[in-house]
Every structure is written in C-alpha cells, then in structure tokens.
C-alpha cells in the first residue's frame, strides 16, 4: 500500500503579525522577515519529493508557498479550505485594542 505524506507549513511572518494584529481573512503580505522565512523553508524542503503544493488563497500563504513552487517546478493550488479562521470585528485590531 502506498503511503501519502502531508506536510503542513504555516505562512511566514506577515506585516500584521509583526504589528501584533489579528489577521483572520484579511489579506496582509509577508514582512521582510516572513519572505526570508519562506525562502529558508523552501531551501530546507526542496530535496523532498513533492507531487503537489496546496495553499490558502490568502496572499501571505501564497507568498510563503511560491519559493518552494519555484524550486520544485510545481504550481501552487490555492483553496479557501486552508484559510485561517475569521475573527470578525477583531480583524486588523491589535491584541490590546481587541481586549478593550
């Protein structure tokens, strides 16, 4: 029986993460640090034998997946099935703002 292995990778640091803001479904790009994290992750994983790359359709997740896609020659299949949970009225707020 053939085994399927699934690797789950969290997106790199987003600008919202860096500012201490709730992201949820808000599209926030990766920060410079997040782009470096995505590149480093791709380098570490590039020797794996991937057959597909799936990503949330949010920009921070797609940005994280793209370096690995470039190294492996695979397309990034985007789906809202992997989106983070929405946090409603707290989206975009800092943790401190949400607590008050």
Give how far the C-alpha of residue 16 lies from the chain's centroid of Cα atoms, to the nearest Å. Answer: 13
25 is catalytic: no
84 is catalytic: yes
H/E/C letters for each residue in 32-67?
HHHHHHHHHHHHHHCCCCCCCEEEECCHHHHHHHHH
Residue of 2, 11, 48, 97 with catalytic role: 11
Cβ(51)–Cβ(77) under 8 Å? no
Residue of 15, 25, 39, 84 with catalytic role: 84
User: Exposed, middle or buried, 67 (CB in 10 Å: 0-12/13-18/19+)?
Assistant: buried
Active-site annotation, residues: 11, 84
């Amino acid at each position: 029986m053939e085994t399927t292995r699934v690797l789950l990778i969290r997106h790199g640091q987003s600008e919202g993460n860096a500012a201490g803001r709730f992201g949820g479904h808000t599209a926030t790009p990766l920060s410079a640090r997040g782009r470096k994290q995505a590149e480093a992750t791709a380098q570490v994983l590039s020797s794996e034998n991937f057959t597909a790359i799936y990503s949330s359709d949010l920009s921070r997740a797609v940005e994280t997946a793209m370096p690995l896609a470039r190294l492996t020659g695979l397309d990034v299949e985007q789906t809202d099935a992997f989106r983070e949970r929405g946090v409603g009225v707290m989206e975009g707020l800092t943790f401190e703002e949400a607590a008050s």
